[in-house]
Chains A and B, each alone.
Chain A
Amino acid sequence: MKSSVEEDDAGWSLGVPEKMRSNANWVDITQDFKAACRELNLGELLHDKLFGLFEAMSAIEMMDPKMDAGMIGNQVNRKVLNFEQAVKEGAIRVRDLSLPELIGIIDTCFCCLITWLEGHSLAQTVFTCLYVHNPELIQDPPLKAFCLGLLKLCDIARDKINKAAVFEEEDFQAMTYGFKMANNVTDLRVTGMLKDVEDDLQRRVKSTRSRQGEDRDPEVELEHQQCLALFSRVKFTRLLLTALISFTKKETSAVSEAQKLMTQAADLLPAIHSTIHHGNQPHNDTTKGDHPIMMGFEPLVNQRLLPPTFPRYAKIMKREEMVEYFSKLIQRIITVCNIISTTNLHGILDFFCEFSEQSPCVLSRSLLQTTFLIDNKKVFGTHLMQDLIKDALRSFVSPPVLSSKCSLYNNPQAKDYIDSFLTHCSRPFCSLIQIHGHNRARQRDKLGHILEEFATLQDEAEKVDAALHSLLLKLEPGRQHLACVGTWVLYHSLRIMILYLLSGFELELYSTHEYYYIYWYLSEFLYAWLMSTLSRADSSQMAEERILEEQQKGRSSKKSKKKKKARPLGKEITMSQAYQNMCAGMYKTMIALDMDGKVRKPQFELDSEQVRYEHRFAPFNSVVTPPPVHYIQFKEMSDLKKYSPPPQSADLYMAASKHFQQAKLILENITSPDAEVNRILKVAKPNIVVMKLLAGGHKKETKALPEFDFSTHKYFPVVKII
């Protein structure tokens, strides 16, 4: 029974019964039908037993402008022509287009392309240009080459984005509606055509150039300017296309090639920007809404292709914004190319995190993914993911099993353990990198889920450690293999957990009254764990170095130079200390503000603080190490009554101020501060002062609530007392 319901379900929304196509004899039953309907009771639905109110709810409502996309196309008092019809009726020309017409069409197409990349459908953007529907019909060489180039651009971009799979419906519309994307022409042919057009234009540019002592004919000057404008646009298209084609190649050298092409394309942007006025300008006609009206464009041509969902309006980007967008896009793609110079896993992870922080567009995010893992197999097309993970593990904790000086190194059983573990690591780490490719809002949820996979990995890591330890005890008594691999997995789990909590501030998910337990969890728990994990890894590294040194001493009498080199994890430990102090400062600030009645609390009727707390930390329940801190434990651990005498708000403000002070000291000692260090300093400094003022009783009686300004740093606010 159930299956038949499902079949019918599918039948209602899809499928076209054959007989509908034939010309059946239709009989009008309007009056009968309406009369019969009137007999029904108010609110009564007449329906098949397989069709219920639930199904009825999902029907789209006709004649409702919010749901009925077909209404718009039907209400315009003009004929909507497709490309062939428009050519036949002489509404658009396919040959002898003037320079201003060409420039105008190209600029509008660029705007459409960008609008598509920002998440609108192809049908409402690029394919509102009639010319791209069938470039074969175009007889004007520049326009034909450009249209083919544009189609190729769209096709490659779409392919890249689909392959990377880091988009959601709000980022990108993958539908192509059966449009032909110039697949019958090769990439090489298209770039060749663009190059030919470019060369022709360059000749015209040269022939119209002003010569010394010649009287300048304003018309020739104008032609010169316009040719130059068209030349820049065609060349820009070619460079962009060639760069994207480079990304599809498998060699790493192709990426640096793409980077070079992108830089060249960026150099053309000023010329494009300064010649926008040479193009035919769209005139705004209210009947077409926001869509620009140009020869060759028909915003409604694809209206009937749109899916039967509510209509979405694609607001085409303005030409003035187009150049700005391109320049940012190119900058992002150039940044993406830099990934190939990062060769270790932790560096790559940091690269992905940092890149994601600027909320990049879906195309650059996808290019980063596909450059990193080519066809989901090899890193940059050359290294195995397992090898990358092995190197990361070795440089992080220097486990004896991966040291060539250890007897475990060539032990087949030990090799088996570690190799199978590394293979199991591959998938979670690939997923983690992919998560960083998603848009900021989607990352959080996915981070919460991936913790489960890391918990499984943690479990395996601990077993591997134990097995290797007992092996090592037999082979080399006195050496240890404890908590090596485990430490490394724990480090990643903690990083994910921290990022999960912090991203809630960036996404503005938390209410003010929740800040205190979030910051508490971070400072007292996660950062404390992270720092002990890092120092364990650091001492493990040192132990390994000592062994190496001793072995070297034994072999050669040369005294190894005692140079004090910086610890590899030093910077990260320092940063964690700073973050921990910032969180601790915020935690104490929030407690003190609450004591003074300066935190607004909701009327807990249907929920309670416990419900909220448990919801906030729910994803951590799947992790065994570190164990989740439950609400009751949190309340006990953070109870101020255990101190005697219990601190007053002034004491807490003072303590908070000291934490911010401490963070400032730590950060100021960093030799080459980066942007992040400076941002935290910009929060810490004013907070030190504000906390001192508050400790001194400043504005203690005011009822106004403090403001939390996250504009300087997305995780730590500047506290403002009004």
Chain B
Amino acid sequence: MATENEENGADMQSESEESAYCLARQKLESLLNKNMRIRMTDGRTLVGLFLCTDRDCNVILGSAQEFLKSTDSFSQGEPRVLGLAMIPGHHVVSIEVESESLVNSSQGM
């Protein structure tokens, strides 16, 4: 009997873990292929499609463009086309997405 209880307890615990995991995955999946803007530690900003990430928050952007330090307006300076770019997690300062993509994704859910 005791062992059964223990098993149940473990199940309960893993269930809550699982749901947190599922939620996180869902949240991240809803962002896939959305436009994303990432500031890096050296002040540059990359804009591109969110394609892939992992536990260390390494992010891969597709069709990425590089903007120099001016973060607010894009009119300053032409962007540089990078294509497929991976930003190591420890160099990610901030992550932004377009508000409409958030609305769209919540509607989808």
Judged by a CB distance under 8 angstroms, whether A675 is at the interface is no
Per-position 1/0 for B30-53, Cβ under 8 A of A: 011101010011111011010111
Distance to closest chain B CB from A505 (angstroms) = 42
Judged by a CB distance under 8 angstroms, whether A43 is at the interface is yes
Contact A24 B99, CB 8 Å, known A34-B57, A308-B81: yes
Residue in A15, A56, A70 whose beta carbon sits within 8 Å of that of B52 in the complex: A56
Interface size class of B (residues with CB under 8 A): 35 or more
Distance to closest chain A CB from B46 (angstroms) = 7
Per-position 1/0 for A420-454, Cβ under 8 A of B: 00000000000000000000000000000000000
Contact A38 B41, CB 8 Å, known A11-B62, A13-B63: no
Closest to B90 in A: A63
Task: Point out which of A17, A26, A61, A308 has the most chain B C-beta atoms below 10 A from its C-beta.
Answer: A26
Q: How far is the CA of A55 from the CA of B84 in the complex (A)?
A: 9
Q: Are A14 and B63 in contact (CB under 8 A)?
A: yes
Contact A63 B40, CB 8 Å, known A12-B63, A46-B29: yes
Distance to closest chain A CB from B15 (angstroms) = 14
Which residues of A11-27 have CB atoms within 8 Å of chain B's CB atoms? 11-17, 19-21, 23-27
Judged by a CB distance under 8 angstroms, whether A215 is at the interface is no
Q: Are A27 and B97 in contact (CB under 8 A)?
A: yes
Q: Are B96 and A29 in contact (CB under 8 A)?
A: yes
Q: Are A51 and B78 in contact (CB under 8 A)?
A: no
Q: Are A308 and B85 in contact (CB under 8 A)?
A: yes
Instruction: Return chain B residues, CB-CB under 8 Å to A64.
Output: 88
Distance to closest chain B CB from A672 (angstroms) = 60
Judged by a CB distance under 8 angstroms, whether A33 is at the interface is yes
Closest to A55 in B: B84
Distance to closest chain A CB from B100 (angstroms) = 7
Distance to closest chain A CB from B68 (angstroms) = 7
Judged by a CB distance under 8 angstroms, whether B56 is at the interface is yes
Per-position 1/0 for B44-78, Cβ under 8 A of A: 10110101111111001011011011000110001
Q: Are B43 and A74 in contact (CB under 8 A)?
A: yes
Distance to closest chain B CB from A219 (angstroms) = 47
Q: Are A308 and B83 in contact (CB under 8 A)?
A: yes
Q: Are A26 and B52 in contact (CB under 8 A)?
A: no
Q: How far is the CA of A51 from the CA of B32 in the complex (A)?
A: 10
Q: How far is the CA of A47 from the CA of B77 in the complex (A)?
A: 32
Task: Please count the residue pairs between chain A and chain B whose beta carbons lie under 8 angstroms apart in the complex.
Answer: 181
Q: How far is the CA of A521 from the CA of B32 in the complex (A)?
A: 61
Closest to A39 in B: B24
Q: Are B97 and A59 in contact (CB under 8 A)?
A: no
Q: Are A62 and B35 in contact (CB under 8 A)?
A: no
Q: Are B42 and A74 in contact (CB under 8 A)?
A: yes
Q: Are A62 and B88 in contact (CB under 8 A)?
A: yes
Residue in B35, B65, B85 whose beta carbon sits within 8 Å of that of A24 in the complex: B35
Interface size class of A (residues with CB under 8 A): 35 or more
Distance to closest chain A CB from B60 (angstroms) = 5
Closest to B17 in A: A39
Judged by a CB distance under 8 angstroms, whether B12 is at the interface is no
Q: Are A61 and B88 in contact (CB under 8 A)?
A: yes
Q: Are B51 and A60 in contact (CB under 8 A)?
A: no
Instruction: Return chain A residues, CB-CB under 8 Å to B35.
Output: 17, 19-20, 24
Residue in A19, A25, A30 whose beta carbon sits within 8 Å of that of B95 in the complex: A30
Residue in A36, A55, A304 whose beta carbon sits within 8 Å of that of B78 in the complex: A304
Q: How far is the CA of A503 from the CA of B94 in the complex (A)?
A: 56
Judged by a CB distance under 8 angstroms, whether A471 is at the interface is no
Distance to closest chain B CB from A340 (angstroms) = 46
Q: How far is the CA of A17 from the CA of B24 in the complex (A)?
A: 27
Q: Are A74 and B68 in contact (CB under 8 A)?
A: yes
Q: How far is the CA of A15 from the CA of B62 in the complex (A)?
A: 10
Contact A12 B51, CB 8 Å, known A29-B97, A33-B95, A59-B86: yes
Q: How far is the CA of A30 from the CA of B94 in the complex (A)?
A: 5
Q: Are A26 and B96 in contact (CB under 8 A)?
A: yes
Distance to closest chain A CB from B82 (angstroms) = 4
Q: How far is the CA of A506 from the CA of B93 in the complex (A)?
A: 53
Judged by a CB distance under 8 angstroms, whether A676 is at the interface is no
Instruction: Return chain A residues, CB-CB under 8 Å to B33.
Output: 48
Q: How far is the CA of A47 from the CA of B31 in the complex (A)?
A: 10
Closest to B22 in A: A39
Closest to A48 in B: B32
Judged by a CB distance under 8 angstroms, whether A1 is at the interface is no
Q: Are A37 and B52 in contact (CB under 8 A)?
A: no
Distance to closest chain A CB from B90 (angstroms) = 9
Q: Are B55 and A38 in contact (CB under 8 A)?
A: yes
Q: How far is the CA of A13 from the CA of B48 in the complex (A)?
A: 10
Instruction: Return chain B residues, CB-CB under 8 Å to A184.
Output: none
Instruction: Return chain B residues, CB-CB under 8 Å to A305.
Output: 80
Q: Are B83 and A40 in contact (CB under 8 A)?
A: no
Instruction: Return chain A residues, CB-CB under 8 Å to B85.
Output: 59-62, 308
Contact A51 B51, CB 8 Å, known A24-B100, A60-B83, A70-B66: yes
Q: How far is the CA of A541 from the CA of B62 in the complex (A)?
A: 68
Q: How far is the CA of A35 from the CA of B80 in the complex (A)?
A: 30
Per-position 1/0 for A443-467, Cβ under 8 A of B: 0000000000000000000000000
Instruction: Return chain A residues, CB-CB under 8 Å to B89.
Output: 37
Residue in B23, B41, B51, B81 whose beta carbon sits within 8 Å of that of A63 in the complex: B41
Q: How far is the CA of A63 from the CA of B59 in the complex (A)?
A: 13
Q: How far is the CA of A59 from the CA of B93 in the complex (A)?
A: 20
Instruction: Return chain A residues, CB-CB under 8 Å to B25.
Output: 36, 39-40, 46
Q: Are A28 and B63 in contact (CB under 8 A)?
A: no
A/B interface sample: 26 pairs, CB < 8 A? A12-B49, A15-B63, A20-B47, A25-B99, A26-B99, A34-B57, A35-B24, A37-B53, A39-B21, A40-B24, A40-B25, A40-B54, A46-B28, A46-B29, A46-B53, A47-B51, A48-B51, A51-B52, A51-B60, A56-B51, A56-B60, A59-B86, A60-B84, A62-B86, A63-B40, A70-B80
Which 4 residue pairs across A and B have the least CB separation, nearest first?
A39-B24, A12-B62, A13-B83, A47-B52
Binding site for A on B (CB under 8 A): 20-21, 23-25, 27-29, 31-33, 35, 37, 40-44, 46-47, 49, 51-57, 60, 62-63, 65-66, 68-69, 73-74, 78, 80-89, 91-100, 102
